[in-house]
């Protein structure tokens, strides 16, 4: 697994991260956990055709309240070692 991110209001340079900390309510963590599980199932079913999925889109489609300006979580299929991230 590789984790990438951007600085808030920073450059467009994608940074490889060593660690991620998530500050959230129990409800937000439950929603994120379901998103991770459902996206894993989508990845398995789609195989190599799966590209990526956004938590923002997932939340909006399911009418889950999220404050404007909250960071997005994007899940992408891990590609071979020569592929570019995301």
- Its pTM stands at 0.79
User: What is d(CA 76, CA 54) in angstroms, rounded to the nearest whole number?
Assistant: 9
Distances (CA, A) of 27 to 8, 13, 41, 69: 24, 31, 21, 18
pLDDT, residue 66, reads 72
Per-residue pLDDT 10s for the chain (86 aa) are 889 998 887 778 889 999 999 998 898 899 999 999 999 999 999 999 999 999 988 888 777 777 777 888 999 998 766 555 55
Residue spans per domain, the chain:
22-86
* Residues facing 16 on adjacent strands: 4
Burial, 28: exposed, middle or buried (Cβ in 10 Å; 0-12, 13-18, 19+)?
middle
- Region of residue 4 (left: phi > 0; alpha: psi -120 to 50; beta: else): beta
H helices of the chain, where?
26-46, 55-61
């Amino acid at each position: 697994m590789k984790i990438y991110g951007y600085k808030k209001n920073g450059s467009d340079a994608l940074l490889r991260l060593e660690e991620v900390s998530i500050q959230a309510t129990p409800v937000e963590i439950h929603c994120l956990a379901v998103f991770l599980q459902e996206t894993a199932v989508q990845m398995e079913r789609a195989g190599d055709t799966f590209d990526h999925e956004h938590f923002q889109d997932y939340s909006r489609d399911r009418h889950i309240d999220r404050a404007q300006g909250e960071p997005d979580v994007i899940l992408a299929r891990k590609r071979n070692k020569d592929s570019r991230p995301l």
